[in-house]
């Protein structure tokens, strides 16, 4: 029967393309190694290695029973590991297992096509976990390699991957680029980015915590990691006014500060004395509930609320990059009439702690009485006039951190000054609390935004004054004013530390620093316009193009028109570039052969392949059956097989056709 002819089956796998295919699939699966159980990674690599050895040593492949049993075991193992086969991690794990098991039956060209298509799908799942520009470049590289392999597998005349196939893959991707851009820009968007489930950067986060003790900020200040980025809508405020409010600490045990203040959301109780500053914050994930805003925020983003101490918290931990718009007032009064519970909590000190500090505070209290502002100025004067130093490497404070800092070492970081100042204020009867967050930032002129790093982490104080409410007092500024005026780098540039070297690079604008800013600008714009391209950004882009009143329906219709136009233009281009309708050296003799059979009453049907036609002709002309079989076999090999360039077979085929007369 015709169906049993080997010429009608798919060509077998070629060793050269098999090796490239296995390598490509392993590279595509590699980013998932840290996300799936280790046994899945081991299974994938083991089967890929075994299949490579089987191809080189002519090992036989498993039969259908073994493959079926392996598939059932693989599905059961994934289910046992996750309790389901649905969801991101279980789904990717199951896909990896199925791709690995498919390698066990990789025999023909058809199997290669299927694995290549699975490779595209597996590659797409990377975006469910990683959405950075690095992941995008890696995925584009793998997509080019997959497309090149697809061109190679489909080219039966040139079995080895070569320049022609790379060129073909590049041309195909370039031809698809306009269509891809049109779909990306115009496809109706939901309110949130499609890839909203990133696990990028999971693990231990660098950032502010729920507590503060001496030395708590040192590791943060040695980190150049970005905490968030800020785009100001108008004029950028002075650096000394950029206090980004974070956790507020009320409770103190003699060494460590903790939040523990009045809980729950509150309504705003402040009066603004200056114009509002509007800006957009792009916050990096930090696995906490709080959002950062300039003192003092006048509104809250969606799914967030004000706490009693004017922090902004969210309903869920910030595990993905979050973009929110804010409005703040830099000159303000808050809580002129405070709650009694707040004042009581803001005066609490542990019994017996810090006797020297208490004695100093008592002397101020005796001198200034109820003049709270006078007490505040006395403390700041002490910091300015005595030889206090701002340093990242203060002496270790063992027994009493406040007394030892105030009267012995007189050297510390921002948390030393903020903590000691609040203790002095409370001991003198002035309500006070510690506020942490970030101060300042770096202006990225390439991207047009402020970049606030972990190195900008800062702690300051707030005191409550009658008729003024809570006001910010930064004792660090009394010791190192350059810290708030020019940033952390200016305050520690004389220190022998890695951060001091980084600070010097910041000031001189070295090439490494400029390169870091350029890379950050690229990374930020990728996040905004690719990963974060949502409905709002789409509307903004269309408005910039003069399309103000475009509905999702209009977008869909416009997309259909553009896609249709691109397809028609591509089809017209292909039609104009089509080769002339000339017969190949193989087709000319074949046409002569079929014409002679037609003249003898044996007409080939339009749908009939050469093998089927040859079988029918051999039955019709039994005396010529042997010659017909030889001619058909040669034609099939020359036209569809691997011997297309076999000149001896071509000469034999031509000679046989020339001598053929049906009988």
pLDDT digits (tens, 9 = 90+) for 413-422: 888 999 999 9
User: Is residue 185 scored above 90 in pLDDT?
Assistant: no
Instruction: Provide the pLDDT confidence category of residue 291 given band limits of 50, 70 and 90.
Output: very high
549 is catalytic: no
Q: Is the N-terminal amide bond of 658 cis, ω within 30° of 0?
A: no
Catalytic residue among 372, 416, 458, 615: 458
Which pLDDT belongs to residue 206? Answer: 52
Buried b (16+ CB within 10 A) or exposed e, 253-288: eeeebbbebeeeeeeebbebeeeebebebbbbbbeb
Integer Cα distance of 537 and 154 in angstroms: 41
Integer Cα distance of 11 and 14 in angstroms: 9
Catalytic residue among 111, 231, 335, 474: 474
Which pLDDT belongs to residue 341? Answer: 84
Integer Cα distance of 452 and 554 in angstroms: 40
More confident residue, 446 or 494: 446
506 is catalytic: no
More confident residue, 39 or 556: 39
- Mean pLDDT across the chain: 82
458 is catalytic: yes
pLDDT, tens digit, for every residue of 5-30?
333 345 677 777 888 899 999 999 99
What does the block give as tokens for 133? 């520009």
Catalytic residue among 414, 520, 615, 634: 414
Integer Cα distance of 156 and 166 in angstroms: 16
Which pLDDT belongs to residue 179? Answer: 79
The whole model's pTM is what? 0.66
Neighbours of 470 (CB within 10 A): 25
């Amino acid at each position: 029967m015709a169906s049993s002819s080997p010429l009608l089956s798919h060509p077998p796998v070629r060793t050269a393309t098999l090796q490239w295919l296995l390598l490509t699939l392993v590279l595509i699966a590699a980013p998932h190694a840290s996300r799936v159980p280790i046994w899945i990674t081991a299974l994938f690599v083991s089967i890929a290695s075994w299949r490579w050895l089987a191809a080189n040593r002519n090992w036989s492949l498993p039969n259908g029973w073994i493959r079926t049993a392996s598939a059932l075991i693989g599905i059961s193992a994934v289910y046992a590991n996750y309790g389901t086969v649905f969801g991101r991690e279980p789904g990717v794990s199951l896909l990896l297992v199925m791709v690995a098991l498919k390698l066990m039956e990789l025999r023909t060209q058809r199997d290669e096509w299927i694995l290549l298509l699975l490779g595209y799908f597996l590659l797409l799942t990377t975006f469910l976990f990683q959405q950075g520009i690095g992941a995008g470049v890696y995925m584009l590289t793998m997509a080019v390699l997959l497309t090149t392999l697809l061109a190679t597998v489909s080219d039966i005349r040139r079995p080895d991957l070569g320049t022609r196939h790379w060129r073909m893959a590049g041309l195909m991707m370039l031809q698809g680029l306009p269509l891809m851009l049109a779909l990306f820009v115009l496809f109706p968007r939901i309110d949130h980015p499609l890839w909203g489930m990133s696990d990028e950067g999971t693990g231990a986060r660098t950032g502010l915590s729920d507590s503060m003790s001496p030395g708590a900020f040192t590791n943060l200040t040695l980190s150049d990691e970005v905490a968030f980025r800020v785009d100001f809508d108008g004029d950028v405020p002075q650096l000394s006014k950029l206090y980004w409010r974070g956790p507020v600490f009320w409770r103190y045990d003699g060494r460590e500060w903790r939040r523990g203040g009045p809980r729950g959301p509150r309504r705003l109780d402040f009066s603004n004395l200056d114009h509002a500053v509007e800006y957009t914050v792009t916050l990096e994930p930090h696995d906490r509930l709080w959002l950062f805003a300039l003192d003092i925020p006048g509104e809250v983003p969606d799914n967030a609320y004000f706490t009693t101490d004017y922090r902004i918290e969210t309903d869920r931990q910030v595990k993905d990059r979050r973009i929110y718009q804010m409005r703040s007032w830099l000159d303000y009064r808050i809580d002129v009439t405070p709650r009694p519970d707040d004042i009581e909590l803001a005066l609490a000190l542990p019994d017996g702690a810090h006797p020297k500090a208490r004695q100093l505070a008592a002397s101020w209290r005796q001198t200034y009485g109820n003049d709270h502002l006078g007490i505040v100025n006395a403390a700041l004067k002490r910091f300015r006039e005595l030889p206090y130093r701002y340093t990242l490497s203060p002496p270790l404070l063992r027994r009493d951190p406040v007394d030892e800092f105030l009267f012995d070492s007189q050297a510390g970081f921002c948390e030393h000054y903020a903590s000691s100042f609040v203790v002095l204020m409370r001991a003198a009867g002035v309500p006070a609390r510690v506020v942490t967050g970030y101060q300042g930032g770096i202006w990225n002129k390439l991207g047009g935004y402020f970049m606030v790093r972990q190195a900008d982490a800062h702690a300051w104080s707030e005191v409550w004054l009658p008729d003024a409410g809570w006001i910010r007092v930064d004792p660090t500024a009394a010791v190192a004013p350059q810290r708030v005026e020019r940033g952390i780098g200016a305050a520690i540039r004389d220190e022998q530390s890695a951060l001091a070297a980084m600070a010097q690079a910041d000031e001189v604008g070295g090439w490494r620093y400029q390169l870091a800013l350029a890379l950050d600008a690229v990374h930020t714009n990728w996040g905004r316009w690719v990963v974060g391209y949502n409905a709002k950004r789409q509307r903004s882009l269309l408005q910039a193009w003069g399309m103000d009143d475009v509905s999702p329906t209009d977008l869909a219709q416009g997309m259909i028109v553009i896609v249709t136009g691109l397809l028609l233009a591509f089809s017209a281009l292909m039609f104009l570039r089509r080769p002339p309708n000339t017969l190949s050296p193989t087709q000319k003799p074949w046409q002569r052969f079929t014409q002679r059979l037609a003249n003898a009453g044996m007409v080939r049907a339009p749908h009939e392949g050469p093998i089927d036609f040859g079988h029918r002709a051999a039955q019709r002309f039994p005396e010529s059956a042997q010659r017909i079989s030889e001619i058909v076999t040669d034609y099939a090999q020359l036209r569809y097989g691997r011997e297309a360039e076999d000149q001896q077979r071509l000469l034999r085929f031509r000679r046989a056709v020339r001598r053929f007369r049906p009988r």
